[in-house]
Amino acid sequence: MSQVSRPLSPHLQVYRWQISNTLSILHRLTGVALAFGGLALVAWLLALASGQAAFTGANALLGSLVGQLALVGWTFCFFYHLCNGLRHLAWDAGHGFDREVARKSGIGVVVAAVLLTAVFWAVALTRVAA
């Protein structure tokens, strides 16, 4: 079969950027980031299984600046992927397809993800300080 270089859907050069496709791309990006988070979770469990020195080292790594940035990033990715995943499950069940509803649920997902991330870290930092 001869290869014809036709433009492929969704025609990124002519596609009007909007909330639905932005959130869809973000869902995938956060999913890939969380795959690395899963790697970190298993590494953390392996460190815990290996003994006190390994676990203290792992926690020191997570407590470094890079580690803290990664943890905050993973927390946001997690809450976003969770909320938007629930939105996807509602769609799978046939609910929320109206354009206006889908737009509002999209905004709601972003707001919820930011709020949940903020609450999580507020609680975490309060407990560290206490």
Partner 1 sequence: MSLRSPLGRALGLGAAGAGTEHWLGQRLSAVAMVPLTLWFASSLLTLPSLDFYSVTAWAASPLHSVLLILLVVALVYHSSLGTQVVAEDYVHASGRRAIVLIVLRLLHVGLAVAGIFAVFLIATRAPL
* Pair of tokens at residue 61: 């790594």
32 binds partner 1 (CB under 8 A): yes
Residue 117, C-beta contacts closer than 8 angstroms, at least 6 positions apart = 72, 75, 76, 79
Among positions 12, 48, 111, 115, the unique one binding partner 1 when judged by CB under 8 A: 48
> Do 33 and 73 meet the contact criterion of CB atoms below 8 Å apart?
yes
Amino acid at 94: G
Distance CA 127, CA 12 (A): 46
89 binds partner 1 (CB under 8 A): yes
Total binding residues toward partner 1, as defined by CB under 8 A = 29
CB atoms within 10 A of CB 70: 17
Residue 15, C-beta contacts closer than 8 angstroms, at least 6 positions apart = 21
Q: How far is the CB of 100 from partner 1 (least distance, A)?
A: 25
> Which residue lies nearer to partner 1 by CB, 28 or 104?
28
Among positions 20, 56, 64, 68, the unique one binding partner 1 when judged by CB under 8 A: 56
82 binds partner 1 (CB under 8 A): yes
49 binds partner 1 (CB under 8 A): yes
Q: Which residues bind partner 1 (CB under 8 A)?
A: 28, 31-32, 34-35, 38-39, 41-42, 45-46, 48-49, 51-52, 55-56, 59, 78, 82, 85-86, 88-89, 92, 120, 123-124, 127
